[in-house]
Amino acid sequence: MSEIRLDVAGGVATLTLDAPQRRNALTVEMAHALIEACEQIDADPAVGAVVVRGEGAYFCAGGDRATLAAAGEDPAAPETYAGMTAIYRSFERVGELEPPTIAAIRGGAVGAGLNLALATDLRVVADDAVCLSGFLPIGLHPGGGHTALLGRLGSRESAAALALFGRRLTGPQLVERGLAWTSVPAEDVDEVAQELARTPGADPELARRTARSLRATLGPPAIPWHTALELERSAQMWSMRRKALAVE
């Protein structure tokens, strides 16, 4: 069964990562399902807003550890390379969704999970949620255009603190630094996100056109996201291989 759930009601699509047993960490299969769900959303002109959320107590713990470990064994293997590309593409595809997008973050978002959250237009985060880059503490280089995503939302200081120094931010701290819109009690996150989504959801055509204009005006990352993704790829794959060799 797919670990990505798509529900549409009242002009709002809700994309749910449904693997709470591993804190919704992304596998290659989930990534493909997430990409397919995005295609379905864009093909449905009745959808005017999208809420991305995680089932259970956590938004997304990043890339599945077993998937990352396997990638480290032979990063250049065609199957491995294609699998990592799918994971990168999944949050890039969320960032390309035609309707306005909101991440509803409970528990936390780490690594690729933070990429997924930063890919959306707006973030609603729980007061007690913790977000961090999480790459350096586990011996990996950031990937998926992580630094470009951080840089387009917050200050260079915040990007450096997260990506270089392994700092973590709570909900209120994310809001203070311009990385999230609002911080609320965990039990209210989903409802606040849905409430925000109802306005664009009521007029899908206008919402999609406005989202396109806002993104074109304010811009994607300072360098194209895809360029940032490829720039980080070789260094991240090197770090995966180094980590795998250290275990042997």
CATH number at residue 12: 3.90.226.10
Q: Is 131 part of any domain?
A: yes
Q: Is 48 part of any domain?
A: yes
Q: Which of 105-109, 179-183, 206-210, 212-216 has the weakest average pLDDT?
A: 212-216
Q: Is 212 part of any domain?
A: no
Count of the separate structural domains present in the chain: 1
Report the 3 state secondary structure along 51-93. EEEECCCCCECCECHHHHHHHHHCCCCHHHHHHHHHHHHHHHH
Question: Residue 114: which of 81, 76, 144, 85 has the closest Cα?
Answer: 144
Boundaries of domain holding 43: 4-186+218-247
Q: For residue 248, is pLDDT > 80? A: no
The whole-model pTM stands at 0.90
Q: Is 213 part of any domain?
A: no
Q: Is 60 part of any domain?
A: yes
Question: Residue 80: which of 228, 232, 233 has the closest Cα?
Answer: 233
> pLDDT tens-digit profile of 128-184?
999 999 999 888 999 999 999 998 888 999 999 999 999 999 999 999 999 999 999
Phi and psi angles of residue 183, each rounded to the nearest 5 degrees, phi first: -120, 130
Q: Is 128 part of any domain?
A: yes
With cut-offs at 50, 70 and 90, classify the pLDDT of residue 1: low
Pairwise CA distance, residues 146 & 218, whole Å: 18
Pairwise CA distance, residues 189 & 194, whole Å: 9
Q: Is 199 part of any domain?
A: no
Q: Is 52 part of any domain?
A: yes
Pairwise CA distance, residues 98 & 180, whole Å: 20
> pLDDT tens-digit profile of 28-68?
999 999 999 999 999 999 999 999 999 999 999 998 888 87
Overall size of the chain counted in residues: 248
% of the chain at pLDDT higher than 90? 72
